[in-house]
A and B are shown apart, each in its own frame.
Chain A
Amino acid sequence: MIVAGSDCCGCTGIEGYLPCEQCGDVRNKEDRGIKIPGQLGRGPSSFIPVEEILQEGTERAQRQLFIEAFVSAGRVDNITMVMGLHPEYLASFWKTQYLLLHLDGPLPYHKRHYIAIMAAARHQCSYLVGFHVAEFLKVGGNPGWLQGLHRAPQKLRNLNEINKILAHRPWLITKEHIEALLKTGENSWSLAELIQALVLLTHYHSLASFVFGCGINLETDQDGGHAFQPPSPRSCDSSPASEDGVSGSSGKDAMQEVEVLMARMKLLQECQLEEEGVTQEEMETRFELEKTESLLVAPAVDIAEHALPPNVLCFVEEPEFGYKDFTRKGEQAPPTFRAQDYTWEDHGYSLINRLYPDMGQLLDEKFQVVYNLTYNTIAMHSGVDTTTLRRAIWNYIHCVFGIRYDDYDYGEVNQLLERSLKVYIKTVACYPEKATKRMYTHFWRHFKHSEKVHVNLLLLEARMQAALLYALRAITRFMT
């Protein structure tokens, strides 16, 4: 007889074959009077009702993706569930992340996870930190490192500086930073390693944005994912209040908002010519205006700095370093990044593909997928060309990070993006840890949840691209 062993998730060891003993029905046990911790949030996201995600989860392509994710990772995590609302994107995202973490690359596996931890910790994202701590241990990382950054090898600690910069003020990265990391010495980085580290960092910074932006719940098996106590009222402002937003009198307003938005989009698409009178100076000021206005949409600071769990904090040095608007009054503004001078398609791709083959291709696909993703629907309308709206969002996010497109009229942003949306975008892109459910529900009140997730995907990718562009430009400057 032959024994074939295959380790299957959940059921480890031989006892696993017995039908559902330990993973048996929870309610059963409850009936028997055993007190068990309940799951904190319901469903993968605390912002989006669970029915919303599962009901639409019957599409074939989506199922296939979930199965694939399950087979290769042993679980379908909450991020995957939420992204599953856009299967086309999920496929691309999954491929990239898989290459980044699990396939051949210059960095050893445990370091990749450690870098992910460092990146996520910058935004205090305990979901990602917890997730990768587990992964880190699984691939045989040294548990000592998890006691904090100070226990990690110097080489990884050197990365802290650009981690910090990329997370909060990517425009500050210079070729000197790159030089410092690459200069030969005991703890130096090779260029290929650095590229992978950069992609990892930016990936996890922006993924943290997504986690907060969509209110992803902790996994059941994570610390804090379950508790005897119901969650404190702070983290979930009672749902009835927020659901009111859609119904009743304000519902009507929202309807009108959608109509107005559509009308404007149409106008912009058709009557480009009307704009001809606009002078270049005006265009220039419009961008500056948008930049400065983004200062004003900073979220209220009154949200109490919730205490950081120490297991996240230990990976952060200088936690006070945060996003700072580059156009503070009276300060020398760093020069605007001209998008046309260093584009992803031409320059970024070429550089990455040279140093980290395959990654360039996958990232390129991912950016393209997300940039072109559309179902031609808006709220309850279908057959709408949403190009202008998507472009406005994308460019606004880049604008927040100081990247300017010469060929874009930033007046459009003002017309298309309402204030609450701007607040949300700015918050999630720059300080995601401050995003709240109220912000989520307050913008686009009549839109579908999947559309809000779409906004979050745009956020994720635009943010990642912005940070990558800054970092790659620094590398290019270093190399020349």
Chain B
Amino acid sequence: MEKMARVTTALGGNTITGRTMFCHLDAPANAISVCRDAAQVVVAGRNIFKIYSIDEDQFVEKLNLRVGRKPSLNFSCADVVWHQMDENLLATAATNGVVVTWNLGKPSRNKQDQLFTEHKRTVNKVCFHPTEVYMLLSGSQDGYMKCFDLRKKDSVSTFSGQSESVRDVQFSIRDYFTFAATFENGNVQLWDIRRPDRYERMFTAHNGPVFCCDWHLEDRGWLATGGRDKMVKVWDMNTNRAKEIYCVQTIASVARVKWRPECKHHIATCSMMVDHNIYVWDVRRPFIPSAMFEEHKDVTTGIVWRHLHDPYFLLSGSKDSTLYQHIFKDASQPIDRANPEGLCYSLFGDLAFAAKESLISSDSNRKPYIGDRRHPIFFKRKLDPTEQFEYISSSSALSVFETDLESGSMDWFVRTAKQYALAGRPLAELCDHNAKVAKELDRDQVAQTWTMLRIIYSSPGTVPSANLNHSLGKGSTSLPLMNSFNLKDIPSGIGNESRLERSKGESRSENILMDSSSTLINNDENEETEGSDVPADYLLGDVEGDEDELYMMDHENPHAEEQEYILPQEAFPLRHEIVDNPSALDHLQDKADSPHVSGNEAETVSLTPVESFSLISISHSLYENRLPPDFFSPIVRDMLLFYAEQGDVQMAVSVLIVLGDRIKKEIDEQTQEHWYTSYIDLLQRFQLWNISNEVIKLSTCRAINCLNQASTTLHINCSNCKRPMSNKGWICDRCRQCASMCAVCHHVVKGLFVWCQGCSHGGHLQHIMKWLETSSHCPAGCGHLCEYT
């Protein structure tokens, strides 16, 4: 920017140096203001009114203007301003409605000069004319603005905003006669100082009070306003209508705004409540502040740039009774900490992913796949050459991935949701049914879980028996190994082309959002990495390679354990041909002790080290003949947590519902609620309204149960004119007739209303019932032959 050069020149010989520093005040500050020469600052508050000189590395108290034994309310300042032309002249606004001017040149201890007691309510703001020495403007809670000539005793003119509470008044920097005033009702008015009868222009700037405004230092038409609605807006006043050109959304109501000198687009803000930081925004990048000062411990009440032409020094006063000088160099830049990545799904399941270019390009494998079906798009934002010094370069890469229809499909989810039985039958049947459903969808582990649940919880008589455990090994192949995605790309050449493509396209991104497709992908990967032909279904027995075994078990752990415990020892009719292979477990244990990883599984395993623990515990022999179901609840709980952790919240919720009270108390309410809401959310996304409703109904969670009762609105249309009924009870607004009249007794039906689908006449349930017992024609006499069944 061309102004950059001017920074040093504008300051002339008077260069400003300093560091970030602060000093304690005795009381909270309400406002601060600097002297023209940038060497002194005045701090005013309810119980403080002092002048500090700003030295190289400290603030030094120079003068206490609060004199007298019993300080009167005139000293309790809401605002203070130092004249920019005359360094002896100050003005304060008192909370009791008095405007006071101070002359530092006075020889006496009391520097109070003039007292204007014209406002009836608190004065919120005072403002000196930028070039005229004797002109002072004030804005008060009583809705009036007054202009004072300091050579006279009274105000020269009074401006009525026709509204309550003026919050801020600011003389335009360039237009000699213009000033802006902001109001509690959200309006901003522009006035000509010569015309006190009527404002020149008015517009609504904010929703709720506008707390502050500031004219741009260079661009004469720009006015920034900040309001309670947490917005900072920049208005271009050059046009006929004030036009909003920038808008910054902050996180708390905005108490002050101040344009940064020498930086056309920068503005400093502080907030009224809750948030104690000072932000400097680039109005063109409204989502993240370009700099942030976090020193204050309570809300910042006053900010001011130390020198009119120096953009690096900011002074601030705060309710925490400190006065700070901030140096730009020490500001924290949130952008450094920001997550520079973005991810979004399109309507059709395509995925866009944007990240810093540097991140993307390091991943060189990604680029080559500018294939037919996905179009990674890269673009780079050109830096504005005229842009600021500390403007952070931003260049990013955007990639778009299309969904592979097959693998991305959530078919299994939908089908499971539809076919699961959750209530209405004995537990054993439910479990069996659900196991079957899962089995049909090739989700063997889930099926197995259901079977085991049946064994645990149904009565002993029906308990099948033994060797179930051994299915675990095989289950593993199809277990959702959700963590097994390689973040690195698989070296090309392995597996065939289509498979590779798929895993590349989805690997990372899908992994983050949902593991829905995990089952499938996972299978692929197994095949790919191992190159062996392990079919996805039950086929335990032939566990050949150690590595295979280990690979499976690592992810299997919680289950391995759990299944161990449940194992009843007696034999039971096998559902499948399963070879009992007791050695398999021991064998595994050994393996797990020494995390021996080899070959191409390295990636997979290393990603999930956490899971390879507790195999040791298996050797416990807990093989009691009959254990109470309670005994297993911790395990079942762990199992549910495991599924939920994996993202299969469907399983967690289904089991929760099916088991009902048996497991309910094991899991804390909040987790349950969380699962329910996630599942319901998923169901609704798939438009499975009925099922989601069923789940809500069946849930034992209070918070979920009442979902159905909240936010339900019934819209009623008039039966005569078919228009929506207003809330006027039983009479339609438009046709002035009673809606829903009973065709038999001609009274309004306020309870159950029954009507014929053929002729749409109807009435009280019992009346119609009686009527149609004796006659088959419609009671309304329309001739329709109604039927009542």
Q: Could you say which residues of chain B place their CB within 8 Å of the CB of A228?
A: none
Q: Would you list the 4 A-B pairs with minimal beta carbon distance, nearest first?
A: A280-B72, A406-B95, A350-B273, A17-B764
A184 within 8 A of B: no
Q: With both chains docked as a complex, state the minimum distance between the C-beta of B745 and any C-beta of chain A, in angstroms.
A: 7
Partner of A104, one of B72, B253, B711, B757: B711
A sample of 19 cross-chain residue pairs with beta-carbon separation below 8 angstroms, ordered by A number, consists of A1-B756, A1-B786, A3-B765, A4-B752, A4-B753, A5-B751, A7-B751, A12-B751, A17-B751, A104-B710, A276-B117, A340-B78, A346-B228, A349-B208, A349-B228, A350-B272, A354-B273, A364-B208, A407-B95
- Residues from 84 to 134 in B contacting A, C-beta threshold 8 Å: 94-97, 117, 119-122
- Given known A-B contacts A2-B754, A17-B750, A17-B752, A345 and B209 have beta carbons under 8 A apart: yes
Q: CB-CB < 8 A to A67: which residues of B?
A: 727-729
Partner of B72, one of A5, A6, A13, A279: A279
Tell me if B211 counts as interface (CB < 8 A to partner A): yes
**Interchain CA distance A109-B702 in the complex, whole Å:** 11
Given A1-B788, A6-B753, do A407 and B121 touch, yes or no (CB 8 Å)? yes
Q: B282 within 8 Å of A by Cβ?
A: no
Question: Which residue of chain B lies nearest to A348 when distances are taken between CB atoms in the complex?
Answer: B273
Nearest B residue to A13, CB-CB: B751
Task: Report which of B184, B299, B711 forms a contact with A345, defined as CB distance below 8 A.
Answer: B184
Residue contact B97 to A5, C-beta cutoff 8 Å = no
Let me know if A251 is at the binding interface, CB within 8 A: no
Distance, CA A350 to CA B297, complexed state (A): 18
* CB nearest neighbor in A for B140: A407
Nearest-neighbour CB distance to chain A for B714, whole angstroms, equals: 7
CB-CB nearest in chain B for A275: B117
Contact of B747 among A19, A346, A364, A479 (CB under 8 A): A19
Task: Check: A70 CB closer than 8 A to any chain B CB.
Answer: yes
Given the known A-B contacts A108-B703, A350-B228, A350-B253, are A3 and B728 also in contact in the complex, defined by CB atoms under 8 Å? no
Known: A346-B272, A364-B208. 4 other contacts (CB 8 A): A1-B757, A17-B752, A67-B729, A104-B710
| Chain B binding surface SS class | loop
Which chain A residues lie closer than 8 Å to B764 at the CB level? 17-18
B730 smallest CB distance to A (angstroms): 9
When the two chains form their complex, are residues B751 and A11 in contact, meaning their CB atoms are under 8 A apart?
Answer: yes
Q: How far is the CB of B239 from chain A (nearest CB, A)?
A: 31
Given A350-B272, A407-B95, A407-B96, verify A70-B74 contact (CB < 8 Å). no
Docked Cα-Cα span, A269 to B714, in Å, equals: 53
* List of A residues within 8 angstroms of B767 by Cβ: 17
Beta-carbon contacts of B306-348 to A below 8 Å, as 1s and 0s? Answer: 0000000000000110000000000000000000000000000
Structural contact, B209 and A3, CB atoms closer than 8 A: no
B615 contacts the other chain (CB 8 A): no
**Scoring B residues 746 to 789 as 1 if CB is less than 8 Å from chain A, else 0, what string do you get?**
01011111111100001011111000000000000000001111
Q: Give Cα A430–Cα B729 distance, bound, in whole angstroms.
A: 40
Residues of B within 8 A of A137 (CB): none
Task: Establish whether residues A71 and B703, one from each chain, have CB atoms under 8 Å apart when the complex forms.
Answer: no
Interface residues of B (CB under 8 A from A): 46, 70, 72-74, 76, 78, 94-97, 117, 119-122, 141, 165, 184, 208-209, 211, 228, 252-253, 255, 272-274, 276, 297-299, 319-320, 702-703, 706, 710-711, 714, 727-729, 742, 745, 747, 749-757, 762, 764-768, 786-789
Cβ of B73 and Cβ of A280 under 8 Å apart? yes
Is there contact, CB below 8 Å, between A341 and B46?
A: yes
- From known contacts A2-B757, A346-B211, infer whether A354 and B274 are also in contact, taking CB-CB under 8 Å: yes
Docked Cα-Cα span, A189 to B765, in Å, equals 49
Closest to B276 in A: A480
Please, how many angstroms separate the alpha-carbon atoms of A71 and B716 in the complex? Answer: 13
* CA A179 to CA B711, docked complex, whole Å: 33
**Chain B residue at minimal CB-CB distance from A20:** B747
- Decide if A338 is an interface residue (CB 8 Å cutoff): yes
- Whether the Cβ atoms of A407 and B120 lie closer than 8 Å is yes
A1 to B787, CA, bound (A): 7
Residues of chain A within 8 A (CB-CB) of B228 are 345-346, 349-350
Shortest C-beta distance, B452 to chain A (Å), equals 34
Which chain A residue shows the least CB distance to B121? A407
CB distance from A247 to the nearest CB of B (A): 40
Query: Beyond A5-B752, A16-B751, A67-B728, is A280–B96 a contact (Cβ under 8 Å)?
Result: yes
**Beta-carbon contact of A283 and B752 below 8 Å:** no
Establish whether residues A19 and B727, one from each chain, have CB atoms under 8 Å apart when the complex forms: no
Interchain nearest-CB distance for B469 vs A (Å): 39
* Contact (Cβ within 8 A) A1 B752: no
* Interface contact A8-B751, CB-CB below 8 Å: yes
Contact A338 B46 (CB under 8 A): yes
Whether A29 sits at the interface, judged by CB under 8 Å, is no
- The B-contacting residues of A in range 395-433, CB under 8 angstroms, are 406-407
Candidates B117, B120, B755; contact of A2 at CB < 8 Å: B755
**Residues of B close to A5: CB separation below 8 A:** 751-752
B757 contacts across to A, CB distance below 8 A: 1-2
Assembly CA distance A354 to B274 (angstroms): 9
Q: In the bound complex, how far is the Cα of B255 from the Cα of A68, in angstroms?
A: 39
Residue of B with least CB distance to A269: B120
Distance between Cα atoms of A109 and B273 in the complex (Å): 30
Taking the nearest CB of chain B, how far is it from the CB of A17, in angstroms?
4
Chain A residues, CB < 8 A from B78: 340
A246 CA to B60 CA in the complex, in Å?
Answer: 69
Question: How many Å from the CB of A116 to the closest CB on chain B?
Answer: 18
Task: Using CB atoms, name the residue of chain B closest to A472.
Answer: B273
Residue A281 interfacial (CB < 8 Å): yes
Partner of A8, one of B141, B750, B766: B750
Tell me which residues across on chain A come within 8 A of B711, comparing CB atoms: 104
Answer whether residue A14 sits at the interface, using C-beta atoms and an 8 A cutoff. Answer: yes
Whether B273 and A351, one on each chain, are in contact in the complex, defined by CB atoms closer than 8 angstroms, is yes
B74 — nearest CB in chain A belongs to which residue? A280
The answer on a CB contact under 8 Å between A479 and B209 is: no
Interface centre among A2, A6, A406 (most CB of B within 10 A): A406
Determine whether the beta carbon of B320 is less than 8 Å from that of A281. no
Return the contact of B762 from the options A1, A11, A108 (Cβ within 8 A): A1
Instruction: Report B-chain residues with C-beta under 8 Å of the C-beta of A283.
Output: 73, 96
Inside 8 A of A104's CB, which chain B residues have their CB?
Answer: 710-711
Find chain B residues with CB under 8 A from A13 CB. Answer: 751
Cα A7 to Cα B255 in complex, Å, equals: 50
Residues of A within 8 A of B141 (CB): 407
CB distance from B249 to the nearest CB of A (A): 14
Closest to A477 in B: B298
Residues in B neighbouring A364, C-beta threshold 8 A: 208
Interface pair A346/B253, CB less than 8 Å apart: yes
Given contacts A281-B72, A350-B252, A480-B276, are A6 and B714 in contact (CB under 8 A)? yes
Question: What chain A residues lie within 8 Å of B252 (beta carbons)?
Answer: 350, 354
Q: A448 within 8 Å of B by Cβ?
A: no
Please determine whether A71 and B754 come into contact, CB atoms closer than 8 angstroms: no
Closest Cβ–Cβ distance, residue A5 to chain B (whole Å): 5
CB-defined contacts of B274 to chain A, threshold 8 Å: 350-351, 354, 476, 479
Q: Which residue of A lies closest to B747 (CB)?
A: A19
A410 vs B72: C-alpha distance in the bound complex, in angstroms? 16
Q: Which residues of A contact B702 (CB under 8 A)?
A: 108
| A42 located at the interface, meaning its Cβ lies under 8 Å from any Cβ of chain B in the complex | no
Query: Measured between C-beta atoms, what is the minimum distance from B391 to chain A in Å?
Result: 31
State A19–B744 Cα separation when bound (angstroms).
Answer: 12
- Is residue A252 contacting chain B, with contact meaning CB distance below 8 A? no
Q: Which residues of B contact A406 (CB under 8 A)?
A: 73, 76, 94-97, 122
Residues of chain B within 8 A (CB-CB) of A407 are: 95-97, 119-122, 141
Residues from chain A with a CB closer than 8 A to the CB of B765 are 3, 14, 17
Closest residue of chain B to A8 (Cβ to Cβ) is B750
Query: In the complex, which residues of chain B have a beta carbon less than 8 angstroms from the beta carbon of A479?
Result: 274
| Nearest opposing residue in chain B for A68, CB measure | B727
Instruction: Give Cα A8–Cα B751 distance, bound, in whole angstroms.
Output: 6
B-contacting residues, A256-280, CB 8 Å: 272, 276, 279-280
Q: Are B122 and A3 within 8 A (Cβ)?
A: no
**By the criterion CB–CB under 8 Å, are A476 and B72 in contact?**
no
